Each structure stands twice: as structure tokens, then as C-alpha cells.
Structure 1
Amino acid sequence: MRADPAARAQATARPPLGHVLVTADDLGASTEVNAAVARAHRDGVLTGASLLVAGDALDEAVALARATPGLAVGLHLALADARPVLPSREVPHLVGADGRLLQDPARVFLRLASSAAARREAAREIAAQVDRFVATGLPLSHVDGHHHLHLHPAVFPVVAERAARAGARGIRLPWEGLAALPEARPRRAAIDAAVLGALARGWRGAARRLGLRFADRVHGIVRSGAMDAAYLLALVPRLGGGATELFLHPSTAPGDARGPNPRDLAALLDPAVRAALEARGLALATYAALERP
């Protein structure tokens, strides 16, 4: 009796070389970012997005996520360059005169290192942001950080514990590898990637103990705001086994130099990028698909 063609194809199919998580940061920041996320997931290779819960377009983003159950949505924790969830009077060491969180992440990093009051306020703001995400009713795919401040030594233990208690599947630990550093644009981004990579590797044990999944490699720091199709097509042949996360900043309108932009959106929509991933044997995935630590 001749075997069913579908069964024969399934039996001979090779397992993927590795998994690739493709994430958009700043969901909820604006209607332009929201529109880009929706399109990149519908027509491109985007598998997940990270929600800015104090963003100007939060309600629209939540409605989008509810209508798009295939999109894995996580929390984009913000301790700089955004509005706080708590009233500004409750986090005076984290905000400026305008009531917003301090814009410069390096300044916030140093303040958290030097001020016990700032650390206490940060812990309360983290709890408030996690609670606001939970209140949306969306499943929490993962947690990462705006400007990667979730990796700060005073912040990560709080974030990771709160994330695990809220049911998060994973957490972003951005290690790009030494080979990526010469590709940094601007050049100072190589310093950011090296410092953040060292912190990220140091937190892997803590993430494992809490049952939080993480990708082996994470690409997006050295070319933040410039993850165009040409860069992705050059990067894909270097991706190997295990899990890799690519995070981008898609938008339908230009933004800051290293923030949301239409080029990242175009890369996510480029059929050549999808074809390159498939030719390499890499399967699109989310944190839920990764093995538990």
C-alpha cells in the first residue's frame, strides 16, 4: 500500500537548524508604531512585540493585540525616556522637571547605582508596569527593557521575579557576540553592546532559576534603528543552531535616530528576508517555543 504523500513528507522533513524570534519594540508608543507592527506580523516575519504600557497609543495597541492572537506580546519595561505609570510625585528621583522619566539612560543607570531612593522608586514603578500589563488580560510572552535598563544590577532581580510571577515565558538577555561589534553604527553602539552583553550573560543563571526562557543570541543593539533588509540578509547566513532573537523598531513614520523607523518595517516585509531564513533552515518562533531552562 502506497504511503500517504503528506505523511511521507512529514517523516522526511528535517528539523529546523534553529529558531528565530523576531520582535518589534515600542508597541503602544504611537499609532504609527502600532500600524507597523500589525502589518509586519500580517505580511512579514514579525512574531512578537513588546508593549510600552505608558505609551500614548496603549489602548489601540491592546485592541490590536487582542485581535491578533498569533502575535506574542511582552512588556517593554521603561525606566527612562518615557512617561512613568506611577504619578511623577511618587518617583521624584526618576523623573525630570517635566514629570517624565529622565531621557538619558546613562544618567538613569548611574542614578540607580548611587541612590537607594531611586532604587526603591524603580521597584515600585516596575511593579506598576507589570500590573498594568496584567490588567490588559493579554498573555505575557516576555519582558525586555527600553534602552535595556532591565539589565541594571539593581533592576534585573526585581524585573525577573515580577515577570516570572506574572507568567512570563521569557526575558531578553541581549548578547550579540564579539563578531557583531565591528558592525556597530554609530561606533559607540559597540560599547553599549559589549557592556549590556556582559550584564546579560551574567544574568543567565538567575533567569534559569526562575524558569524564564531566553535566546542564545540577540541582535539589534549595534544597529538599533538601522536593522534594514541589507543588514538582515548579511546576518542570516551567520545564524546557527539554538535560538536567536532579532529586535527591530518598525514604524510607518520616521522617529529618533536609533528608534522607530520605516526602514526596519521594510526589512520585516521584504520577501528576501523570509526566503533567506527559510533557506538557512531557521524557523520563525516566539519565546513559548523555546525549551524551558
Structure 2
Amino acid sequence: MNRVIINADDFGIHGEVNKAVYIGHTYGILTSTSLLAPGPAFTEAVDMARQCPGLGTGIHLCLVGGLSPVLSPREVPTLVNEDGLFPDNYMDFIRAVYTGKVNFSEVYAELAAQIEKILATGLPVTHVDSHQHLHVLPPVWPVVTALMKKYGIHRLRLPREPYRFKIFTVPPGRMLGRDALTFLASRAARDAAKLHFSGTDYFWGMADGGRMTETKLCYLLETVPFGIHEIMMHPGCKAKELGKVFKWGYRWESELKALLSERVRAIAEKKNIAFINYGDLL
């Protein structure tokens, strides 16, 4: 029997994302989500999570995305811009890291504050992942593993989508980014095994990131090899409203529709797939 975690990222980033996570879990196949401590809609997300005891809730560590840090910007000056916000994207963060502009004691302090903010809610935490997957970036990885050990968390996302997956159908730029991430995540996975951390055997959602449709999800469930899988999703309601805030080009409503699809359910039943969350891993 294949076991599949269907995870919605960015819980807490916006009310329309929160609503989609609630609907996708209550009426669909969504089993897991990743909570953003700096998210503007964090409090609402926590309230919704409390209404969904079967929904696995992980920590979506954040150092990018134009969000405000949990700590005061004065406490983490090398992590924020003149407006007191994180850089917009991972490329800006990586550039700052490799030009020596980031103080990693601030990275440790900020990520610890994010973890503590989520733990303080009393929600059972199932795993750790990160916004734009920065937790597997080599300079960030030791900070994350140290914090996981400190707070007793041993499950995490390893975003290593197979190199050959959709090699001829994904735009070259996205393929290059996916392959670089897979390389870094594979290195992290070797270290995670030595630390006795748990993750999935397979990860899916980079090639189709923000553009997962019913048809694409059906294809994945039909073809995945034997093992434990995570499929990353980004569902949302009211795509026009979300599009005013986030310029990512995500197909928010299509992703939610896929989570609610009877066709998807039928394929999962036919393939004897069990939907689980990270809390079900050893």
C-alpha cells in the first residue's frame, strides 16, 4: 500500500488560503499543512487548525516572501530590508548569504522564535519544512537541524523530486530550479538519516508548483512508485483576490478543485492509496 501525504503550504499567509486549507481537509483529501508563523492570517489559521484534529500541522519556516519577521526587525537587521521585511524570494536571500551579508545568529534567533510561536499555540507539530525550501540550503541546514533537535521535532520535508520527472514538459528555468533543489535535498537527506530524522521516500510538486490540477494529481496517483510520498499543494479560494497580493501566477482554485475531486478519490481507492500526514511517520 502506498502512503501519501497531501500537504498545503503557506497556511496563515492569507484568509483565502486558510479557507481553502479548511475546505480541502474537511471535504477533500488534504491531510497536512504547513503553518507560517509570520503569516498575516496566522491567528485565523490556528483557530481553523484547532477545528481539524485530523489535519497534520507542520512549521513552515520563513526567511523570504516579503513578510515581517516574528522578532523585531531591530533584532534581525541582516535578514530584512529597509522596510523591515524579509527579501521577496530565495534568490535575493541566497545572494545576501553568499556575499556575507547575513548574520546566522540572527537566522537562529528568528527561526527559533517562529518555532516557539507555533509551539505556544498547543497544536501538535508534525514536521518542519520552509517557505521556498530554504531549510535545505547548506548554510541554513545546520541551523534548522540544531533547532529540530532542541525542540524535539524529528520529521521534515525532503523536497527531492526525481530528476527525470516531466523532464520534457516543464519549462527549462523551472527544471533547473527543481534539479538544484533536488540535489541539495538529497545531500540533506543523507545527513537527516544520520540524525535519525524521518521524511518521505518521494516528494512531488516542484514541476507543477502552484499549478497542480485534477488531471496532474490523477496522473501522479496513477504512476507513483511504491513508498511514502509527499505531494505539495497550494490551494486557495478567490484567485483574483489572492492575485492582487501575490504575483506568483498560482492556479489556487484549480488546486483546491483537485483536492475535492471525486475522480482523484476513485483513483486513490483503485490504487489502494492511504492518505496520511507526517505525524503517522515513525
Query: Fold conserved (TM > 0.5)?
Result: yes
Query: For 1:209-224, what aligned pairs fall within 5 Å after superposition?
Result: 209-224=194-209
Whether the 8 Å CA contact 1:169–1:288 is kept in 2: the answer is no
Higher alpha-carbon Rg: 1
Other structure's SS at 2:164 match: helix
1:282 corresponds in structure 2 to 273
Whether the 8 Å CA contact 2:214–2:255 is kept in 1: the answer is yes
Identity of aligned residues (%): 35
Query: For 1:84-163, what aligned pairs fall within 5 Å after superposition?
Result: 84-115=69-100, 117-163=102-148
**Residue identity opposite 2:224 in structure 1:** L
Partner Cα separation in structure 2 for residue 260 and residue 142 of structure 1: 26
Change (3 A) 1:191 1:222: same
Change (3 A) 1:251 1:77: same
Alignment of 1:64 with 2:55, yes or no, is no
**Residue identity opposite 1:289 in structure 2:** D
Partner Cα separation in structure 1 for residue 268 and residue 103 of structure 2: 43
State the 1:262 CA deviation: 1.0
Whether the 8 Å CA contact 2:61–2:128 is kept in 1: the answer is yes
Q: Where in structure 1 are there 5+ consecutive unaligned residues?
A: 1-15
Partner Cα separation in structure 2 for residue 183 and residue 93 of structure 1: 40
Whether the 8 Å CA contact 2:107–2:143 is kept in 1: the answer is no
Partner Cα separation in structure 1 for residue 168 and residue 258 of structure 2: 18
Whether the 8 Å CA contact 1:160–1:171 is kept in 2: the answer is no
Deviation sequence 1:34-68 (CA, Å, 0-9, x none): 11000000111000000011111111111111121
Alignment of 1:267 with 2:258, yes or no, is yes
1:26 corresponds in structure 2 to 10
Partner Cα separation in structure 2 for residue 141 and residue 120 of structure 1: 26
Q: Where in structure 2 are there 5+ consecutive unaligned residues?
A: none
Change (3 A) 1:219 1:272: same
State the 1:85 CA deviation: 0.9
Deviation sequence 1:70-104 (CA, Å, 0-9, x none): 00000111111122111112222221122110102
Aligned residues: 275
2:57 corresponds in structure 1 to 73
Partner Cα separation in structure 1 for residue 252 and residue 275 of structure 2: 22
1:4 corresponds in structure 2 to none
* Root mean square deviation of aligned Cα: 1.7
2:232 corresponds in structure 1 to 247
2:248 corresponds in structure 1 to 257
TM-score between both structures, scaled by the size of structure 2: 0.92
Picking from 193, 218, 222, the partner of 1:237 is 222
Q: Once structures 1 and 2 are overlaid, which stretch shifts more, 256-265 or 137-146?
A: 256-265
Change (3 A) 1:121 1:227: same
Q: Once structures 1 and 2 are overlaid, which stretch shifts more, 191-200 or 281-290?
A: 281-290
